[in-house]
Structure formats: C-alpha cells, structure tokens
Amino acid sequence: MTARHLLTLLSLLVLVVPALAQGAPRSGAEVYRQACASCHASDGRGAPRQVTGIEAIPDFTVCAFVTREPNPDWYAVAHEGGPVRAFAQTMPAFGGALSEAEIKGALDHIRAFCPSKHWPRGDLNFPRPLFTEKAFPEDEAVLSTRVASKGQGEVMSKLVFEKRVSARGQLELIVPFGFRDVEGTGWRPGLGDIALGTKWALLHSLRTGTILSLAGEVILPTGRKDQGFGKGTTVFEPFLSFGQILPGHTFLQLQVGAEIPTQTSVAEPELFWRAVVGISLHQGFGRLWAPMIELLAARELEGDKPIPWDLVPQLQVTLSRRHHVRLAGGVQIPLNETETRKPQVVFYLLWDTFDGTFFAGW
Amino acid sequence: MTRPTSSGTASLLLALLLRAPRTGAAEGAFRTADDCLACHNGLATPSGLDYSFGYDWRPSMMANAARDPYWHAGVRREVSDHPSARAAIEAECSRCHMPMANEEARAAGGKGEVFANLVVGAIGRAPTLAQDGASCASCHRIEKEKLGTKESFTGGFVIAGGAQAIYGPYKVDAGRTRIMRSATDLVPTEAKHLGESELCATCHTLYTHSLGPKGETLGTLPEQVPYLEWKASAYAGTRSCQSCHMPAVPGKVAISSVLGVPREGVLGHDFRGGNFLMPRILARFREEQGVTALPQELAAASMRAVEHLQGQTAKLSIPRAELRGGALVAEVAVANLAGHKLPTAYPSRRAWLRFAVRDASGKLLFESGALEERGSIKGNDNDDDPRRFEPHHLEITHAGQVQIYEAILGDVRGTVTTGLLTGVRYLKDNRILPRGLDKARAAADIAVRGAAERDPDFVGGGDRVRYRVRLPASAPTPLSLEVALYYQPIGYRWASTLAGYRSAETGRFVDYYKAMRGATAVRVASSTAVVPAPSSRPSD
C-alpha cells in the first residue's frame, strides 16, 4: 500500500467513523414519538388535559386542520415555538434540539395523520393575487378596493366571503359596493352586482407542486347599470384556476375563463386570462412578503375591440403573527389603450377565518 | 399639530411591518404545575414502571397542601383563638402551604393570605397559584442561599425575584434548555442543592410563636423539626430526606418525555410519607376540595403511604414472653427504621402499641391499645379527657394503660392543648427516636419529654415496653400474643377538638373525619409469640 493509498484510507475513516458513531438519522415517526407524542399523542389526536395540563391540543387527524397550512408555517412553529405564530407558548421551540431534517421528518409524519388524499396541501395555497383567482379552496374574508387614480372618479370595493365546504370544494359570496362620480349627478354610492360562486379542486399534487380547480360564478344584476355599478344582466362566469410551485420559492398562478351574459344585447360575452408570478420571501420566521406581478387580458367575443392588457405589480404582506391577516396592494397599469384606460390603485385586506378571529393572533 | 406627510405615514407603516415578531411574554415568577405536566408526564421505565412526575405529585400532600381540609380547619382554629394575629397567621401558614401565592404577595409588598384563596374554582392568579400548593416551581426555584441555617427554617427559603432559573440535579444541553425556556420562560439550571435535606428543611422545620390573649408572644415552639431529628441521627450524611421520600427510579431513565435522555439516579416525585389518611379524604371529597388528582391516583397515593409505613418505618418483636407466678410477662421491642422520630413533624400524629393475649381457645384475655371506630384509642386518657394525657409507660399492667408514642403540647399553665399557637412546650414527647439520636445529648428542640426521659429502654433507634399481665389461672395454654404498632396521622383528640369551633372549615373537617370511621389508622408492624404452659417453658 502506497502512502497515497494510506492517506486516502485515513481520509475515508475520518469522514465515515463520526457518521457511523452518530448512528442512523431518526425517522420522522421516531422524532414524533420522542418529541411530540407526549402532548400530541401517538395517534395525533392530542393527549387529554389530565395528562398534559394543556387545555386544547389540536387533533392532527382532522384533515381540515392538518393539511391547510404550508410547511414553512409548521416548520416555524416547530422550530421557534407556538408564539411565533401567536399560538400557545406551551408549544416549545425545537430548533435547538432537532435538525432541520428531523423537524421536516416529524412534519411529514404529522401530515400523514390525515388518512384522505383528497385534501390539497397548504403548500399549494399561494399568496392571493389582486385579480387572479386562486386554485386553492379557502376560508377567507377579503375586503378589496379599487381606486381610479385619474379620469372618472370611482372607489369600488368588494367583500368576498369564501367558505370551504369539503376537501376540495368552496362556496363564495361577493358583494361589491362603492362610490362613483356619476356624470351630471356627482358622487353616488351604490351596490354592485352580487355574485355567488363555487370552486372545486380537480387535481392537486404536492409532488409536482400543481393544483388545478374548476370554478364558476353567477353574477346577479343587483347593481345599477345606468350609474356604472352593474352590467344589467345575469352573467355566468366559468373559469379554471391553476397554480404551480416553481424553484426558489417562486410560483405561477393562471386563470382562464369566460363571462357569459344571459342577455348579450345588454352585455358582451368575453374571454379573459390572467397570469401571475411571484415569490414568497420569509422575514426569518416572521412576516411573509410576497411580491408578485400580474398580467391581465380580456377579449370580447363579438366585435373587433382590441384586447386590453394590464400589468399589475403588487406586494402582499402578512400583518398578523399568525399570518391570517394580510394586506396587499398594487397598481393596475394599462399596457395599451392608455388614452381611455388609466392606472388604478388596488388593495385588499384579507382575513383567513379558519385561523381564528380577526383580532386573535397578533 | 402638524399633519403627517404621506411619506411619514409610509415610513411608519414600513417600520411597523419590519419590526421583529413578538414572542410570548413571561407572566410572572411562577408557573403552575400544569405547565410542567406536558413534558414531565408520560415517563416509564423499560419495564413499564410509570414514574411520571406529574401523576406522582398530583395526589401527594405536596400538591394538595392548599386543599388539605385539616389544614383549613387548623388555620381557622388558630385564627379564632388569636383573632388579632389573623394576618400574621395566614401569612405564615400560606408560606409553605401556598408558597407561590405567598411569594408573589410578598414580592408585591403584601402578605400571603389563606382564606381569600380557598374558594374552589376561583379565577385569578393568586388563587390559582395558591391552590397549586407546593408545586414544581416552588421547590425547583429555591436558591441555595441560607439553606441549612436557622434563617431558612419556617419557610425562610429564598426565591430569586425576576430570575428565571429553575433548578434540577442535571445539566441540560442548549437544545433542551431552549425547549423548556420557550414553553415556560424558565431556564433549567444544574444545582445539587435540590437533592439535599436542607431544601426540605425550609418548610419541614417549623417554629411557631405561642401567643397570649392580646397577641403577645409567649414563647417559641418547635412545632415540627424532622430535619433536626435527622441531623442528630445516624442517618445524617448518609441518607437524605429525598432518598426515602423520593426514592430513585431504578436504572437510567429520562426526566422528560420530550427528547429525554437517560440519566442515573432520577428521583421519584410521589413524596411518599406517612399520611395515608388525607389522600383517602381527598378521594372521597375531591369535588368539594377542588382536587385535580383522580380518585384512583389518590387511592394509589394512600396505598403507597401504607406500604411505606409498613415496609420502612418500624419493626416489632417480642424478645421475651413467659408465664411467671400467674402473670404473663412479655417484652415488646419497637425499632424505628426512619431517619427521624416516629412519628415525626406535625404533633397530631401518633403511633401506639396494641397488645393482646389470647388463650388456647382464642378467647381474648387481655388487650391494651385497641382502636375504636371513632378513631380513639381505648384506654388513652387524652381521648377520654382533653385535659389529661396518657403517660409514657415503662411497664403496662392493666388494660387501661396503653403505650402511645406522641407529642403532647402544654400551654403556659401546663394545661394540655392542641393549639399550635397556644402551646409553649411539650408535656410529653416519647416519639421513638431514630437510630443514633442520643436523648441525653439531644438539643432542647428535639428533646425527649416526660417519663421517656427516665426510661432506660427508650433509646436512639427504639423502645422496649414490658407487659406484666395477671391472667385467670384457668386460662388454657398455650397463650398467643399479638402486638401491633398502629399509626394515625390525625389523632382523635386533634380532630374532635375542632368540633368546638363554629366555622365552615372546622365543621367540614370534623364531618370528614367522622366519615372516615375505622379508616383513620393503619397497622405498621406486628409480631406474635406463643407462650407455653409454665411446665413446658424453658427456664430463665
């Protein structure tokens, strides 16, 4: 054996022996049993108060709970403890005692307590863009407002209530309202066209990072057309929403659909498509910043009007520690027909109702 | 006032958004045991022996120190006897029975209270801390400072204000330290004093100040001093309080169910002692007393106390028994296996000998020390008449005499009393001495009082009593002797005296005691002997 061979062998020993001494890495199930089970119980249902002294421990077998949030939130809580998301302090910080791989292994084990594969994982729940409809079924209340910066005065808001009704389904109610500077009469308040909607996640895969949903809305003519608050006819709006995880915490969301009025003499049918790319930037384990850029287009099916294109740079940020209250804002910038279409400021305040009351979790 | 500019508003909003996330804020110096259970329950040895600290502690007298109805009645009685000293009495009693609430009250410039914190289910920090009794944080936060000194006695323990160290016998690594700190704001800190007797001595060495009618101090009474008894015994330096009352779990085991690492010499937290009675009372009346331990846990605690009493407390033997001149002469030897007097501490406790002789047909010929159903001892002067007491006996010759190992308090006039703040001295203290305690050299606070002082058989480690009983000549032989040592945590006189007070607490406890008829005492040790007819017995 040459000196070079000996050196190589020694180098290998130096690398291999400590690894062997540390033993095989613990499996997620093992980490869960050693670190989590005393409170969360080996079956994930949560140990009783008599055992832990803790009033309410979440039940990991409830799919609606265990699938809903993305991994970074779970990881943050496991690493930093409950208070990082405004949960109970009794949830300790394991960041100093468990490696990243061990925590992630335990989280995989926890996720597996949901026996159903129908529930899309929260990692496919991308930040909500200002216009593009998400594919992920949600429990949210959103108040969004659009303000015309130039031209005819308009401040229009809409309240959106989304309620998840099953693993894949969601119902939705949209109530628009606002003020318009109506020619000749000045600023007038008004109710817009109230819409009822539903959504169904057709397919979702965490492996490929994909989610696709079919959705539809019925827009009722509750707003006055003559004052610009409504279209004056019932409109059906079927659409597909798509989301895709991209490398480096980036994501893509698409929405393609049509507006089909029941009276084409009153409103034009049109196709629309929207796309958004963005990135999730975590401020340590705290706030989440999500800059996005959205491209909007719509084409009336009759006539030869040019397709209006808009670009919407925007930013969403979590306000509450729990990340259940978020603020987003951006500017809708027309890319063509800029003579008639002016930039508008758009923003929303979002409350994820599943994660607690509005004022909890700060 | 100038209107903020839009850029100023934007800057403010940005600053708010960029601020570091808040973390949980500390609530105060103490945490209740509930905050400890999650990580310190669910502990079992590989063989399946559960040693969960929470389960073990929960039915113990430590956990129920503030729920103990006898203590409630006792404090009420003292407050009734000495109304002008009410605040001082409550402050002193709550120091060890409600240590966390007491400490926080003191830190806030006030005094510990008892009755304000007794309402079951009361909401609020003080009653919550109070009812947690001698809880995890109260012992594990005691500093080494002053331990073992007289200053540390009578609840003179020191808890560092504001500090978040929580002491234990082991070194905890950084990762696990963070786990504990994040969940409780407490930092596990290695400290050997947690395993030393001096820690226990802070509450289990109690001097009370006897008060006169106007609240003036008449004297000081060593109300309970097991630590001093131990210190004068052969056990000092070799066995600690913890070694018997918190026996180590066998093998290497974890102290936490969350990422626990195996450690040697982990102490159990059941705090076993001699009080088998109170867990029984708490089990029967747990709703009324707001007890969190389950009935089966209380039953197990009571059984553990009985096992402890029967296995590690005393041994009885009859080294000599013979018929001589128509009389049975027998010697009974009692050995104290404990590291302190038997019984020790609170003076309501007593142990006594029941001695019975039966003839060959099983007929009872003689009996001394029979337990009566109401909890009294047949033949005990003090149970019959609160002004009298049964003396220590060197020899017992008739059924009206009984050897009772107990402490009898006397007031300034020498009258028998059960009032802790009325008693100024012991009229009788023949509690059996631990091995190594020399009564001739014992300090006044642990001295033997009464006839036992002059009893040559009453020595460190035990006592010998002679029974000389005249029997009917016609009694068929052989005779069988039965001797048993009984133990009662609350003697009949101590309980029945409370019936003379008109208060909810005293009335409740007297009712409880009555409800425990026949279950207030246990047999700790026993021995038997057979005495043949005189003709067949060997000569001296």
Quick one: tokens of B327? Answer: 């009389």
Task: Classify strands A154-164 and A140-148 as parallel, antiparallel or unpaired.
Answer: antiparallel
Residue of chain A with shortest Cα separation from B254: A34
Q: Rounded to whole angstroms, how far apart are CA atoms B437 and B230?
A: 8
pLDDT for the residue B406? 98
Binary contact (A90, B38; C-beta < 8 A): yes
Interatomic CA distance for residues B34 and B55, integer angstroms: 11
Q: What is the DSSP letter of A32?
A: I
CA distances, A93 to each of A35, A39, A53, A324, B360 (Å): 11, 14, 18, 21, 73
Contact B179 A91 (CB under 8 A): no
- Chain B nearest-CA distance from A302, in A, is 45
Nearest Cβ partner for B38 among A39, A94, A286 = A39
| A282 part of contact set with chain B, CB < 8 Å | no
Helix (H, G, I), strand (E, B), or coil: what is residue B472? coil
Q: Is B266 on the interface with A (CB under 8 A)?
A: no
Residue B490 has pLDDT above 90, yes or no: yes
CB of A98 less than 8 A from some CB of B: yes
Q: How far is A77 from chain B (nearest CA, A)?
A: 11
The CA distance from A319 to the nearest CA of chain B, in Å, is 7
CATH class of A3-111: mainly alpha
Domain with CATH 1.10.760 in chain A: 3-111
Helices (H) and strands (E) in chain B, counts: 18, 16
Q: Report which secondary-structure segment, H or E, holds A328.
A: strand A325-334
Q: Does A89 sit within 8 Å of B24, measured CB to CB? A: yes
B459 close to B439: Cβ distance less than 8 angstroms: yes
Residues B366-383 have a mean pLDDT of: 97
CB contact under 8 A, A89 and B37: no
Of the pLDDT bands very low, low, confident and very high (cuts 50, 70, 90), residue B535 is: low
Q: Is the pLDDT of residue B189 over 60?
A: yes
Structure tokens at A287: 């706030």
Cβ distance B257 to A96 less than 8 Å, yes or no, reads: no
Question: Residues of B with CB below 8 A from A317's CB?
Answer: 17
Question: B486 vs chain A: nearest CA distance in angstroms?
Answer: 35
Confidence at B212, pLDDT banded by 50, 70, 90: confident
Query: Where do the CATH 2.40.160.40 domains begin and end in chain A?
Result: 122-355
- CA–CA gap between residue A251 and residue A226 (Å, rounded): 40
Matching residue, tokens 């060959």: B360
**Residue type for position A42:** S
Q: How far is A273 from chain B (nearest CA, A)?
A: 33
**Helix or strand or coil: residue B270?**
coil
Crossing angle of helices B277-284 and B504-515, in 10° steps, is: 100
* Local confidence band at B161 (pLDDT 50, 70, 90 cut-offs): confident
Buried b / exposed e along B187-213 (16+ C-beta atoms within 10 A):
ebbebeebbbbbbbbbbbbbebbbbee
pLDDT at B30: 86
Q: Say whether A94 and B22 touch across the interface (CB within 8 A).
A: no
Euclidean distance between CA atoms B332 and B356, whole angstroms = 12
Q: Mark yes or no for CB contact A89/B180 under 8 Å.
A: no
**Residue in chain A lying closest to B292 (CA):** A50
Mention every residue, 6+ apart, whose C-beta is less than 8 A from residue A336: A306, A307, A308, A309
Nearest C-alpha neighbor of A322 from the set B26, B35, B22, B15 = B22
> Is B180 at the interface with chain A, CB within 8 A?
yes
pLDDT for res A302: 83
Average pLDDT score, chain B = 92
For A157-199, the DSSP string reads EEEEEEEE-SSSEEEEEEEEEEEEEETTTEEEEEE---EEEEE
CATH class (in words) of the domain with range A122-355: mainly beta
Give the pLDDT of residue A11.
52
CB pairs under 8 A between A and B: 98
C-alpha distances out from residue B286 to B65, B68, B297, Å: 14, 10, 12
Tell me the pLDDT tens digit for each residue of B291-316: 999 999 999 999 999 999 999 999 99
**Helical segments of B277-335, H only:** 277-284, 286-289, 295-312
Distance CA(B61)–CA(B178), nearest Å, equals 31
Place of tokens 């106390």: B305
State the DSSP string of B357-405.
EE-TT--EEEEESPBPTTS-BTT-HHHH-TT--PPP-SEE-STT---EE
Cβ pair A286:B21 closer than 8 A: yes
Strand partners, B253: B263
Q: Which pLDDT band, with edges at 50, 70 and 90, does B1 fall under?
A: very low
Q: How many Å lie between the alpha carbon of B337 and the closest alpha carbon of chain A?
A: 36
> Which residues of chain A does B22 touch, with a Cβ-Cβ cutoff of 8 Å?
83, 321
pLDDT > 70 in chain B, percent: 93
Contacts of B18 in chain A (CB under 8 A): 283, 287
Chain-chain contact of A54 with B34 (C-beta, under 8 angstroms)? yes
B21 at A interface, C-beta within 8 A: yes
Cα–Cα distance between A207 and B509 in angstroms, integer?
67
Per-position DSSP letters for B1-68, written without gaps between them:
-PPPPHHHHHHHHHHHHHSPPP-PPP--S---THHHHHHHSS-B-TT--B--HHHHHTTSTTTTTTT-
Q: How many CB atoms lie within 10 A of CB A9?
A: 11
Dihedral sign for Cα atoms in the order A340, A341, A343, A348:
positive
Q: A51 contacts in B (CB within 8 Å)?
A: 37, 41-42, 54
Give the pLDDT of residue B85.
Answer: 94
Helix (H, G, I), strand (E, B) or coil at A139: coil
Contact A92 B183 (CB under 8 A): yes
Whether the predicted pLDDT of B216 surpasses 90:
no
- For residues B84-91, give the mean pLDDT: 95
State both tokens at B184: 């409780």
Nearest C-alpha of chain A: how many angstroms from B185? 9
Task: Name the nearest CA neighbour of B389 among B374, B373, B375, B376.
Answer: B376
Does residue A84 belong to the interface with chain B, where contact is any CB pair within 8 Å? yes
Q: Which long-range contacts (CB under 8 A, 24 or more apart) does B407-411 make?
A: B407/B347, B407/B431, B407/B449, B408/B347, B408/B382, B408/B450, B409/B221, B409/B347, B411/B210
Contact by Cβ (8 Å): B333, B353: no
Handedness of CA B405, B408, B414, B416 (dihedral sign): negative
Q: How many residues does chain B have?
A: 540
Contact of A56 with chain B, judged by CB distance below 8 Å, is answered with: no
Decide if B9 touches A, using CB distance below 8 A. Answer: no
Question: Does residue B388 contact residue B357 with C-beta atoms inside 8 Å?
Answer: no
Q: Which two tokens stand for residue A207?
A: 């492996």
Question: Quick check: B186 and B180 in contact, CB under 8 A?
Answer: yes
Find the DSSP H helices in chain A: 3-22, 28-31, 37-40, 49-52, 63-66, 71-80, 100-111
How far from B237 is each of B198, B234, B286, B441, CA to CA, in Å? 11, 8, 39, 19
Distance CA A354, CA B444 (A): 69
CA distances from A31 to A95, A107, A275, B125 (A): 13, 10, 41, 36
Across the interface, whether the CB atoms of A51 and B41 are under 8 A apart is answered: yes
> For residue B28, is pLDDT > 90?
no
Start-to-end Cα distance in chain B: 112
Is residue A349 less than 8 Å (CB to CB) from chain B?
no
Which residues on A lie below 8 Å from B41 (Cβ)?
Answer: 38, 51-52
Q: CA–CA separation, A79 vs A96, rounded Å?
A: 8
**Tokens 């008109």, located at residue:** B502
Average pLDDT over residues B126-135: 95
Angle (CA) B138-B139-B143 rounded to 5° is 100
- Quick check: A239 and A275 in contact, CB under 8 A? no
CA separation, residue A23 to residues A16, A20, A26, A70 (Å)? 11, 5, 9, 31
CA distance A271 to A276: 17
Q: A254 vs chain B: nearest CA distance in angstroms?
A: 29
B475/B351: higher pLDDT: B351
Chain B residues within an 8 Å CB radius of A91: 183
Which of helix, strand or coil describes residue B116? helix
| pLDDT averaged per 10 residues in sequence order, chain A, 362 residues | 53 46 76 96 93 90 96 96 95 96 97 96 97 97 89 88 97 96 85 98 97 98 92 97 97 98 93 98 95 97 89 98 97 94 95 95 92
With CA atoms as reference, the chain A residue closest to B16 would be: A319
Instruction: List pLDDT tens digits, range B329-346.
Output: 999 999 999 999 999 999
**pLDDT value, residue B114:** 97
Rounded to an integer, the average pLDDT of B479-494 is 98
Distance from CA of A240 to the nearest CA of B (A): 34
- Is A97's Cβ below 8 Å from some Cβ in B? yes
Please report residues of B whose CB lies closer than 8 A to that of A321: 21-22
Q: Which helix (H) or strand (E) holds B488?
A: strand B479-488
Q: Which pLDDT score is estimated for A1? A: 47
User: Nearest CA of chain B to the CA of A78: how many Å?
Assistant: 10
Among B31, B135, B178, B255, pick the best mutation site for testing chain A contact (most A Cβ within 10 A).
B178
The pTM of this model reads 0.86
Separation CA A313–CA A292 (nearest Å): 6
Cα–Cα distance between B294 and B296 in angstroms, integer? 5
CB contact under 8 A, B178 and A47: no
Q: Is B295 on the interface with A (CB under 8 A)?
A: no
When pLDDT is cut at 50, 70 and 90, the band that residue B4 belongs to is: very low
Question: Between A54, A91, A97, which is nearest B178 by CB?
Answer: A97
Chain A nearest CA to B70, separation (Å): 26
How far from A163 is each of A114, A142, B73, B294, CA to CA, in Å?
Answer: 20, 12, 58, 42
On chain A, the residues whose CB falls within 8 A of the CB of B136 are: none
Q: Copy the structure tokens of residue B351.
A: 């142990």
Contact A287 B294 (CB under 8 A): no
**Whether B176 and A97 lie within 8 Å, measured CB to CB:** yes
Task: Answer whether B33 touches A (CB < 8 Å).
Answer: yes
Q: Which member of A35, A95, A321 has the closest CB to residue B21? A: A321
Residues 6+ away with beta carbon under 8 Å from A69: A122, A125
Radius of gyration of chain A (CA): 25
Paired tokens of A221: 């003519």
Residue B336 has φ and ψ, to the nearest 5°, of: -90, 120
